[in-house]
Amino acid sequence: MSIVIAQEKKPLIKFDAQKCIFCKICELVCARYHYGKYGSAISRINIVRRGIKSLRYLICTRCEKRFCIAACPRKALSYKGGNIVVNEDLCDSCGDCVKACPFLGIKLHPETKKPIICDLCNGDPQCVKHCPRGALTLIWLSR
Amino acid sequence: MKYGGYKGKILRVNLTTRKTSIMEITDEFARKYLGGNGFAVRFLFDMIDPRIDAFDPTNVIAMMTGPFQGIYVPTSGKYLLAAKSPLTNGYFDSISGGQIGAEIKYAGYDGILIIGRADKPVYIFVDDDKVEFKSAERLWGRLTSETQEMIKEEIGDPRLSVSAIGPAGENKVRYACVITEYRAAGRGGIGAVMGSKNLKAIAVRGSGTNEPANPEALEAWMKWYNEEVKKVPALTTGLPVYGTPILVSSINNMFGGFGTRNYQTEYFEGWEGLCAELLKSKYWDKDSACPACPIASSKIFSVKEGKWKGAISEGPDYETIYSFGSMCGINDIGLVIKADSMCDEYGMDTVSCGVTISFIMECYEKGLITKENTDGMEFKFGNDDVVIQSIEKIAKRIGIGDLMAEGSLRAARIIGGNSERFAIQVKGLEIPGHSARALRGMALGYAVASRGGSHHDPRPTGEYAGASDRKAVEGKASWVIGTMRWTTIGDSMIICHFLERLLGYTLNQRHVDMINPVTGFGYTYEELVDVAERILDLERAFNVRAGIRRKDDTLPRRFLEEPIASGPSKGMHTDEFTLNKMLDEFYELKGWDKRTGIPTKEKLIRIGLEDVALELEKL
């Protein structure tokens, strides 16, 4: 199944830190969906905690600046249909995109060494679907 | 490794030589000991001379996972720490929530064994197969939360998982704990063992994965879980909305088993100042969970007004409300929140800490100690300032804090005057807030548990729920054995004991059905019973070699001699005659010698512990 994303709308996975219980089930189901395995380093979302009440989520926010695309020396990244898409043939695993992202939304896959970035799970984001407290929601922003 | 959920490797770390090595584990070993508790007790039995002092460098800390860590099964976000305990002198393990369990798996290990003693404060950083010994000199003296943050910053990774001790562990407070995020491997003093090794923290990051043997079967199990859990109010409303404080009103008002003023009674008239409804309406900030847990029994509470305004903590849980609340005669939940947060930051078990303060209060009120012994503090029940001052003094071993840091049993032996009869502990471990007098199974359970006064060996929940008559003597030994088989298997898988309300209070087929999809063992119920018995009897064998016998399987004299003074369970207790009767039955069912409490050769051979039988014959 594939969905067509209207070009004038931008998807965003929104995070409600008050609702989040820091269970990290989003990380587990993200890895399972994409790789059939569990691992925090192959999850495209991570939740981190600093101090007793401060929670942050680390994920691609589809930001307007597209730091990652600008940083890629091989032009391997592009924005298509609401997602940052990696052309793995062009990518040489330099990691500049990882360093450029201020949201810590990109990491290199530990084995393939290619960037892994939230792709909304083909329109049905698993993190949103499995969050037990509704802390993650998929919204569409108008341009 | 042909089975699911295992990496087949144990990382061995020697702090003295600063060398590491890898030990492989076999399919047969995994199947025989399951993981977590089972792995830890086998390693400790083989590696430690059980007669050593717990602070001897040759004591071993086992940081273990089970097959469930890092896999999405509700409540699997845990890890286990084990060592010879400085409180009980026996085998001890303590389980904590925390991402670090999953990270150990992702780094490629089923566990880490730590031996020796570093010459200077260090922390260990495990980054897949790279292991570094890093200086902890600038971390020494730091609280647990700042220690974790400083290590994350030093490594430059906010995702890093860190388990750390606080000042209490450094100062070898006998009930110092180990904190991960804001959760504790609380009981038994393993934090002090870390401190004795000059080990401030363990940080782990893994880039690998873990997966079940049979994903389809696990998915089917998850479907079953999601349907069945809806029928269990405790897991869908009780714990998610209120957390464990919900127990306060029922344990006090229905069961009359809420230890009060060092168990001078078990009904606390000030319970309304400590109850879940009050916490939820006036102190609640948000819910929190261990990794992989949708239940989220943990709560973040803060004090918005009054004397303790500004105090904030993840918790308190029920046991802490008991230990600092009713046990110290305090009906102000604000104080309990403050005490809870201080214990987390200093890295101390809230149960042992509160119960020891409560013990000192009774000694003071009875005139066994005076202001001259207490640095001028008035240790009267209800004196909240004394509680707060004590926590700091204990963590830093200042003044009377140095005595209290030894725990209630050792303090009683120093204070004398027959105070040991009301030191609320078994084998040195302070008893939590589940009554040994109002619940018959807990009387027997505390007496025989490897860890001593622990409510995670036998469980009180089935007696509260009426699955076993809380007053009955008949059949209680068999009930206690069933609950202990379940808890030891739960601690080996590692999953949370709160699932007992869904899976059952005693070991049964449902546990088999949960383990097989992940491991692919194809266990039968009978084989799983043998695994449980093997682990439990190995714990006992460790303790037997450390000198523990039937005479140590007992309760505080107060419980044996004084019936509950007031409240719904007024008049109840288990006297020595009744306890002995249950003990006889327990040893007989276990296949332990009734006179000594030592597992028999026949029993050990039957469960595949021939080598252990040989070891015990040497005694």
Q: Are residues A39 and A72 in the same domain?
A: no
Cβ within 8 Å, pair B314-A52: yes
Q: Are residues A43 and A68 in the same domain?
A: no
Could you tell me if A54 lies within 8 Å of chain B, comparing CB atoms? no
In angstroms, the CA B505 to CA B484 distance is 9
Determine the residue of chain B that is closest to A53 in CA distance: B300
Average confidence (pLDDT) over B20-27? 98
**CATH fold for domain B9-205:** Aldehyde Ferredoxin Oxidoreductase;  A, domain 1 (3.60.9)
A52-96 per-position pLDDT tens digit: 999 999 999 999 999 999 999 999 999 999 999 999 999 999 999
Q: Are residues A26 and A47 in the same domain?
A: yes
User: Residue B568 above 60 pLDDT?
Assistant: yes
Average confidence (pLDDT) over B413-437? 98
Chain A environment of B72 (Cβ under 8 Å): 25, 28-29, 32, 38
Chain A environment of B286 (Cβ under 8 Å): 18, 21, 53
Please, what CATH class does the domain formed by B245-429 belong to? Answer: mainly alpha
* Domains: count for chain A: 2
Question: Which amino acid is located at B319 in the chain?
Answer: E
What is the Cβ-side half-sphere exposure of residue A10, based on CA atoms within 13 angstroms?
Answer: 12
Residues 452-481 of B with CB under 8 A from A: none
What distance in Å separates residue A17's CA from the closest CA in chain B? 10
Q: Is residue A7 part of a domain?
A: no
Do the two domains B9-205 and B245-429 of this chain adopt the same fold?
Answer: no
Q: Which helix (H) or strand (E) is B392 found in, with range?
A: helix B384-396
In angstroms, the CA B106 to CA A46 distance is 15
Residues 139-168 of B with CB under 8 A from A: 145, 149, 158-159
Chain A environment of B288 (Cβ under 8 Å): 21-22
- Which residues partner with A15 through β-bridges? A136
Average confidence (pLDDT) over B70-85? 98
Q: Is residue A34 part of a domain?
A: yes
Size of interface A-B (CB pairs under 8 A): 92
Cβ within 8 Å, pair A53-B312: yes
Domain parsing of chain B, residue ranges: 9-205, 245-429, 437-554+575-617
B111-161 per-position pLDDT tens digit: 999 999 999 999 999 999 999 999 999 999 999 999 999 999 999 999 999
Give exposure, B404-438, as e/b (b: 16+ Cβ within 10 Å). Answer: bbbbbbbbbeebeeebbebbbbbbbbbbbbbbbbb
Cβ within 8 Å, pair A42-B291: no
Can you spell out the DSSP letters for B331-362? --HHHHHHHHHHHHHHTB-HHHHHHHHHHHHH
In angstroms, the CA B231 to CA B228 distance is 6
- The answer to whether the beta carbons of residues B342 and B173 sit under 8 Å apart is no
Q: Does domain B437-554+575-617 have CATH number 1.10.599.10?
A: yes
Chain B environment of A39 (Cβ under 8 Å): 70, 106, 206-210
pLDDT attached to residue A6: 52
Helix residue ranges, H only, B34-97: 36-47
Q: Are residues A20 and A39 in the same domain?
A: yes
Q: What is the CA radius of gyration of chain A?
A: 15
pLDDT attached to residue A3: 53
Average confidence (pLDDT) over B489-504? 98
Determine the residue of chain A that is closest to B72 in CA distance: A28
From A24, A42, A53, residue closest to B285, measured CB to CB: A53
* CA–CA distances in Å: residue B186 to residues B35, B373, B475, B533: 20, 28, 32, 25
Q: Is residue A69 part of a domain?
A: yes
User: Which band of pLDDT confidence, cut at 50, 70 and 90, is reported for residue B570?
Assistant: very high
Q: Is residue A3 part of a domain?
A: no
Q: Are residues A71 and A87 in the same domain?
A: yes
Q: Are residues A75 and A47 in the same domain?
A: no
Could you tell me if A58 lies within 8 Å of chain B, comparing CB atoms? yes
Chain B environment of A22 (Cβ under 8 Å): 181, 288-289, 291
User: Residue B499 above 90 pLDDT?
Assistant: yes
- The answer to whether the beta carbons of residues B300 and B285 sit under 8 Å apart is yes
Q: Are residues A25 and A48 in the same domain?
A: yes
- Which residues partner with A85 through β-bridges? A78
Residue with tokens 């860590």: B69
Cβ within 8 Å, pair A38-B102: yes
From B159, B210, B300, residue closest to A38, measured CB to CB: B210
CA B186, B261, B266: angle at the middle one, nearest 5? 90
pTM, two decimals, is 0.97
Q: Percent of chain B at pLDDT above 90?
A: 100
Interface test with B, best of A24, A30, A43 (most B CBs within 10 A): A24
pLDDT attached to residue A1: 45
* CA–CA distances in Å: residue B3 to residues B10, B200, B492, B605: 16, 34, 15, 26
Q: Are residues A46 and A22 in the same domain?
A: yes
Q: Are residues A76 and A45 in the same domain?
A: no
Chain B environment of A52 (Cβ under 8 Å): 145, 182, 300, 312-314
Residue with tokens 């959920």: B5
Q: Cis before residue B167, ω within 30 degrees of 0?
A: no
User: Residue B280 above 70 pLDDT?
Assistant: yes
In angstroms, the CA B619 to CA B612 distance is 11
What distance in Å separates residue B182's CA from the closest CA in chain A? 7
Q: Are residues A125 and A55 in the same domain?
A: yes
DSSP state of B439: -
**How far from each other are the two terminal CA atoms of chain B, in whole angstroms?**
36
**Mean of the per-residue pLDDT values of chain B:** 98
B326-357 per-position pLDDT tens digit: 999 999 999 999 999 999 999 999 999 999 99
> Torsion angle of alpha carbons A119, A121, A124, A128, nearest 10°?
-80
Question: Which amino acid is located at B470 in the chain?
Answer: R
pLDDT attached to residue A9: 85
User: Residue B510 above 90 pLDDT?
Assistant: yes
Question: Which amino acid is located at A112 in the chain?
Answer: T
User: Which band of pLDDT confidence, cut at 50, 70 and 90, is reported for residue B436?
Assistant: very high
Domain that holds residue A88: 62-117
Average confidence (pLDDT) over B60-81? 98
User: Residue A4 above 60 pLDDT?
Assistant: no
